[in-house]
Every structure is written in C-alpha cells, then in structure tokens.
Chains A and B, each alone.
Chain A
Amino acid sequence: MMKKSFAVTLDPATSLANHTGSWRTLRPVNVFKLPPCNKQCPAGENIQQWLYYAAEGDYEHAWRILTEENPFPACMGRVCYHTCEGKCNRGFLDESVGINSVERFLGDYAIEHNLAFKRPVRETGKKVLIVGAGPAGLAAAYHLRRFGHTVHVVEASAEAGGMMRYGIPTYRLPRNVLDAEIKRLTDMGITIECGRKIEDIEAEKKAGKYDAVILGVGAGLSQNVDIPQGDTNHVLNALKVLGDIETTGEIQIARRVAVYGGGNTAVDVARSLRRLGAEPMIVYRRNRDKMPANKEEMDAAIEEGIQVKWLSTITGATKESIKIEKMELDETGYPQPTGEFEELPADAVVLAVGQNIDKSAIEKLKDLKFQKDAVVVDEQDMSTNMEGYFAAGDMATSDRTVTHAIGMGKTAARGVNAYLKGSKYQKPQKHEDAKFEDMHPWYYSEAPKMIRPELEVARRTQTFDEVQHGLTEENAVFEARRCLSCGNCMECDNCYGVCPDSAVIKLGPGKGYEFNYDYCKGCGVCAQECPCGHIKMVPEKI
C-alpha cells in the first residue's frame, strides 16, 4: 500500500477495469455477403475473391481461386458475355469493373507461366463416362477429376472443345488458347477420346463399367426455316459455315450473303464471312433493342462494316436476290408482317435462327424425358429421369452460352459426386445479397475503367487475328483494384480506426478484424463507416 497524498484514498487505476461492453444493446458482427457479380455468374465463380488476390499482385493465387469453379479462364476472358459486369455495384459509381479483362489476364498469365491443376490427392476408383467434349462435358470432367474420380470423355468430332472450337470464330478465341486449357485437363489425368460417336450409350456404360454418365452432346443442329427458293445450294446453315471455317479454313461462298437471325451465332457468322472477303448483311425480324446478340459483339460487327436490315423476314430467295418482308412490332414486342415487300441483292443465305439437339446421339436412351427441345433435368444436380444419367450444357437448357454450360457441368459433376456417395447434391444456401445501399460509396475514389486495346478495323476485315487484346499487367491490377469488394472485407482498417472505444482488434494481414466485446458499446460507427458493408449490427440477446 503506497503512502497517499492528502485527500487521496484510492490507488490509481486504469479505465480498462471498466467493461463498457455491458452498455451494448446492438452488437457488431462481420457478415459475408454475396457480391452481385458472384451471384450473376452462370459458372458460379467467386469473382470478388479472385479480384482480391489479383489486386494484391498474387496472380497465381487469384487463378487458383478462379479455377476452383471454372477451368477455362483464358477462354472465358475472351468469349464470356460477362453479364457479371452488368450487375457490378461499381456501375452505380462510375463504370463497372472490367471483370472479364482481368479474368483474361489471369488466364493468359497461367498459360504463360505453365500453371497446372493439381492432381487429386486420392483416387476414389469410381468411373464416369462423359459424352461430348464441349464446355459442359469438359467442365464436368474437370470437377469430377478434382473429386478423385476416373473420367473418360468421348467426343464425336475430331477435336475436343465443342462449340468453343466449332462455333466460336478464332478472332474471338484463338485455338492455341483453347488447346492450352484443354491440355491442362488431360494433364490431370482426364482421358479424351475424339472422333468416335457412341451409338449405344447404355451398352457403353455397361461395357466400360462406368458408375455414372454425364450427357453433354450439345445442340449442334441448325434450326431450319422454310424459305421458298429456286436454287437450294444457296441456303446454308450457320454451324456448318462456322465448322467449315474451323476445319478447312476455307469456304466457298458468294460475295453478298444474307445472314438470317439476330443471335450471337448470326453475328459470329457475319463477322467471319467479312474476314473471308464477303459482304454479309444481317437480316433480323425485330429491332436492335430486342436483339438477343451481345451488344459489344454487335457494335464490333457494325464497326467492321456489316450491314443490318432490321424488322425484316426473308420470304424467298433466288439465285441473285432475296425477297424480304418488312415487319413491325406489336405492343408485346412481337413482330407482325406488314405486307410490304422488298427485293435485295444477295447471292446466298445463311440461316442462324437457332439450334437443336442432335437427338440421334442419344436416341437409344429411350426412357430419357424431353421437354420441347431440352432434356428434363433436376436443376439442383442436373440429374435426368434415368438413374445414373446426368445432362449438362446446351442439351439441358435454353440459355446457351459457354458460361452457362460450364456452370451446368460443374453442378452435374457435384451431382454425380453425391450420387456416387449415395446421396443427392443440394446447392448450398447462398449468403445474403451485397446491395449497393449497404455500402459506403464515399470512401471509393474515382477511377476510370481500363479499356482493352483492339485490332484496327481495317485489318479486321482481312484476318482472323484476335480482335480484342489483353490488358497489360499494370492495367489489369488497376482494374482489379477498382473492385468495391462488396460485402466482403478488404482490410481497409476503417472499423479499426473509427471505433471511439478502441474496441476493434486488428489481427494482421489477411486475418481481418475482431470485435472486443468487453469494451464495444455497440455505437455502430464501424458498421456505418465500413465501405463494403461487411459489418452488421444485430440485437444483443438480453
């Protein structure tokens, strides 16, 4: 006991003895929310997370996070229609983050640095047959292989890739990129057998002692429309044209070509023909607003000098011309004929009005249930009505993009994995949405979007060279750093700094923060000042 001065009766003490946490009625907690990009991604990529690592310059880690969901980042960074960017919260501030261009940067980085997928640590001994080596089949093969299953893929065409090879022109996806990403799959022990069409899948399953089958034969038949024509040679279908360009590199086609349709295939065909020296014209029955084709692709087509005839249907074709009828949209946005006709010079017509499943590939599976033009699947795990048979890709959906196919392939793989264990796969519960309103945009500074350089228009009409180039490392990191990190901590130290009670504990790099509930009074300043909405105030149990 110290000797005390006059009028002093107590020893000095620290305020730490006073646990102000008992005042609290609300408690701050860290919540992990689902960013809009992740929610939108048809392949279920954890975009926010891989941007987080890309922003740090840890490209390999970023690529590993990315490829946990999608084995084709370099392809995706080129051909994905990146609907994620349309949902990006940064769009409310200035412009959405260029997710697609960073993805491509990571994909290219991985190819350049020969990054490989890890082989599974243990083999399960289960065998899975995959019919079709398109994006869905390959994605399913990849995920099954990661689970440790033995995967064999059988493909009817000469090479693997499906629509990525035979549907998407090389100016959008150079084949060396596709080959590199497919090779990475075979390197992890997936076997791909090309050039063989399985006639009887059930027999094949039995003979090969496969435990499950994933069907991914795609939709490789061009849909037909009836056009009265004098000379049949002049009406071609889009997939055949694209396939011929891919396999033979040459195609004999006339100069003035009418491409009939308004989807992405129509645009791909028109742009490919332009590169072969033709003068394609897209004929579409509705207007630009109603066009299903990707806006950026369409912009590029117009830039390259491709003419478009809106609100028109082709009613007849002769050797040198086509007859079109003008349409007008009714209140529901559906085109109605007007009875006005027009004649346009055209030497050939390419039909790009949709695709159907080639049912001959699966006709022996008599019990398989169809609805309209798709196999009926349970969307939870992509299982069909036949036990042990799963389906993915264009044959199981109406949303026919590579990204959707990859997402379905993943779900099918998880479905098969659960099936092989004797259970049924259930998609896990998603986190709460990260809304822009929950964020504190004041903290984000202005940063313009980085634009990818493109091949000059003049050269685009002559070569199949890739149109869009990648970002430099500097620009890619800049772009990754524009991410707002919606709903997930980015370690900005704001909560740690703004607490009037010093009741936030900083755990160190990569570890985030913790609340010291002994002293936290529950004022809520941290929650309000968190830029990304990672902190939520919840009522204290009393």
Chain B
Amino acid sequence: MLDKIKFYQTGSNTVGNRLLNPSMRAIQASADRPNGLISGHRACQGCGEALGARYAIDAAMRATGGQIVVVNATGCLEVFSTPYPESAWQLPWIHSLFGNAAAVGSGVAAAMKIRAQKSGNTNVPRVIAQGGDGGTTDIGFGPLSGMFERNDDVLYICYDNEAYMNTGVQRSSATPPSARTATTQLVGEHPGADWGKGKDVPLIAMAHGIPYVATATVADLRDLEAKVTKAMSFHGARYIQILTPCPLGWGTASGSTVTCARMAMETGFFPVYEAEYGKITSVRKIRQKQPVINYLKLQRRFAHLTGKKADPNVVARLQALCDTNIKNFGLLGDDEPQLTPAAIQSYERSNRV
C-alpha cells in the first residue's frame, strides 16, 4: 500500500529519504557507502571537487564491486588527498604527472588485462583516470585525445572547476568568459577572461565517437551516480565532466557549493547531458529556470557584472550564452535537442551571442 504511494514531499531531489524504498535512494544515502575518499583530506571548506570525487568514485565502486584503480592527474584533488605519507583514498590510487593521467590510465588498463589473462582471472579491475580541468582540457589534452582515439578501456573523469585552482586560480581553457582569475584580472576594457577563447571538451570527446560522454554537477547527485554507473557498464573510452564549484577560486561562500552548481544547471550556463557513440541521448531538463544573474551574483569572480558599475551588455551576452545552451540542448520542457550542438565558443567567435 505505502510503496504504491509516491513520495511527493521531496520527490527524488534529496539524497535519500526515510520514506523511500532503500533501492531508490542515492548510493550516498546508505550508511555503508564505500567512502572512496574519506575524512581528514585537506580540501578547503566546502570543496566541490572533494564532494564530486567521492560521489563519482563511490558510484563506480558500487558498480564494479570495488574493483577499481584510480589514476590521478596533478591538481588540487591529488594534493589535498595525498600529502605524503597520508592518503584519503580507500582504493588503489596512482599519481604520475600533471598531463599524463589518460596515458597512465591506458597503461594500467592494459596491464590489468594482461595480468588477468596470465592468472586466468576473468575479473579484470577497471580503471578511472581523473583530473581537474587544467590537467584535462589543457595540459593532459594530447594523452586524453589519444586515449579516446585508441578507445582504451578507461573512464576519464574531469572535475571542472573552471581554472587552475591548485596553483592560485589561473585561467584554463575551461574558464568561462568574463570570469576573474589571477591571469585574467578585472582591468582594461574587457575585464575578466576573454570572449571567444576556450574549448568544449565534452563535445570534443563526443566527436571522437567514443561509447559514452556525459556532463554532470555536484548539485544533482542521482543524475551523477546514474551516469557513472552507466559509464561503468560500457567498455572502451568514456568521459564524464563534473562541474565542481570552488569556493576559493570562484569567490563563493563555502556553504554555497551545491547551490552554485545547481544555479549553473538551472540557468543553462552548464548544460547537463549524456551521449553515446557521439550522439546525445538525453539531457537533464531545467527544473526551475533562473536568469543568469542569479548564478553570477553568488560569485565574486563575476562581481564586476553585478555591482553598480556592471556592464549590462556583458550580462546580456552571458544570458544569451545560456539561452543558446538551452536551445541547442533542449534543456527546457519538452524541447528536442539539436542533434549536434556546436561548441559554445563558436557562438562567441562568430559574435552570435
């Protein structure tokens, strides 16, 4: 009787709920979740990356029965989780260089396969390579593309906090236009990061025609868990980009991490979707649409767009950018997505936003 009655109080928007059948709760809701990344790590207060990494790795551990090896690129995640000799990881974890996580991942995957073959074990441990946006979209991009091109059996997770946070918030190719970073100061005619620069790695990954590509944020846990679980059901190269707000680099209150990621989704600033073999198969619809200003005003890196001296044209341009995402990916209502959305930078470069 009670199972038949849907749970309307919070629907499936919260992590778990006492009224939900345990099988319908998020992995993070269970008291015996794997906790791949445990307490005591030295991430800043409210770190989105620490949260995203635990969400993703726990989901992957559940999906594979804990048979996971993680290869980590240099970056915040590597530094805060493993100050010598301590480790916050509860699974095999390797770090080599900043740019070679994908290549090391490919190698580990090959080694695991050979080892299993030699020992006659059919249970081949799976490999996850992970890094920040700097190690993924800039420095590690060559090895990443190589891993995709060879279709190596690695899931690559990029924790996208939109700049090089570990070294002091320098701009990366994932930094959004107008954002302040240490290298794109609020000076000159066009304060903040330039327009018409950067790259859209999820779309580039899709262009490789690999089995699975997805984007996710720390604000939609069930979506994130479902995507990681689904990614582990594929063999071959897979790529997930998770938006992980950085309180320090973005200038947000430490408690606003999840709220900020939610705003990025609900404004259309960060489109959340998944694609199989180069084609978009589903998008996460916006639940309560918000104007982009509500996202910007949470963050001091956009403070020049929200104060009295704000240039309304820039805000309008950012809004147009969100609207373009909404249109291209069909983020609202029953909209059908366009089949091959172009990289958002193309709109900037052609002055269409």
Contact = CB atoms under 8 A, between A and B. Distances in A.
B338 interface: no
Given A15-B41, A500-B257, A501-B41, A445 B11 contact: yes
Interface string B198-239: 000000000000000000000001000000000000000000
Interface string B1-28: 1101111111111111111000001101
A48 to B, nearest CB: 12
Interface stretch (A323-331, A347-355, A491-499): A491-499
A332 to B, nearest CB: 43
Nearest to A24: B45
Contacts of A484: 9
Interface string A258-293: 000000000000000000000000000000000000
A482 B19 CA distance: 12
A529 B220 CA distance: 12
B50 A500 contact: yes
A527 to B, nearest CB: 6
A18 B86 contact: yes
A13 B85 contact: yes
B9 A444 contact: yes
Contact of B14 (A56, A447, A492): A492
Contact of A497 (B4, B221, B262): B221
A481 B9 contact: yes
Nearest to A445: B11
21 contacts: A13-B85, A14-B38, A14-B87, A15-B40, A16-B38, A17-B86, A443-B10, A445-B10, A474-B4, A496-B15, A497-B14, A498-B51, A500-B257, A501-B43, A502-B37, A502-B39, A502-B54, A506-B31, A519-B39, A524-B45, A528-B255
Q: Chain A: interface residue count, which band?
A: 35 or more
A509 interface: yes
Interface of B: 1-2, 4-19, 25-26, 28-29, 31, 35, 37-43, 45-48, 50-51, 54, 81, 84-88, 221, 247, 253-259, 262, 287-288
A10 interface: yes
A361 B25 CA distance: 62
A51 to B, nearest CB: 10
B29 A493 contact: yes
The 9 closest A-B pairs by CB, nearest first: A524-B255, A497-B15, A445-B11, A493-B16, A15-B40, A523-B46, A447-B8, A15-B88, A523-B45
Contact of A474 (B5, B17, B81): B5
Interface of A: 10-20, 23, 55-57, 442-445, 447, 473-474, 477-478, 481-485, 490-494, 496-503, 506, 508-510, 516, 518-519, 521-525, 527-529, 531, 537
Given A12-B85, A522-B45, A55 B25 contact: no
A355 to B, nearest CB: 42
B18 A491 contact: yes
Contacts of B254: 523-525
Interface SS majority for chain A: loop
Contacts of A482: 8-9
A510 B19 CA distance: 11
Nearest to A28: B255
A493 B26 CA distance: 9
Contacts of B46: 500, 521, 523-525
B114 to A, nearest CB: 23
B258 A16 contact: no
Nearest to B88: A15
A497 B42 CA distance: 19
A465 B322 CA distance: 58
A445 B8 contact: yes
Contacts of A503: 39
A447 B12 CA distance: 13
Contacts of B85: 10-13
B255 A497 contact: no
Contacts of A445: 8-13
A447 B225 CA distance: 25
Contact of A525 (B1, B221, B258): B258
Contacts of B48: 500
Given A493-B17, A498-B51, A15 B259 contact: no
Contacts of A474: 1, 4-5
Given A15-B86, A18-B86, A498-B258, A490 B17 contact: yes
Contact of A57 (B2, B10, B26, B256): B2
A481 B14 contact: no
A500 B19 CA distance: 25
A522 B255 CA distance: 9
A491 B26 contact: no
Contacts of B247: 523
A483 B54 contact: no
A529 B258 contact: yes
Contacts of A483: 9
A11 B37 CA distance: 19
Contacts of B29: 493, 496-497
B288 A494 contact: no
A531 B18 CA distance: 14
B40 A17 contact: yes
Nearest to A510: B18
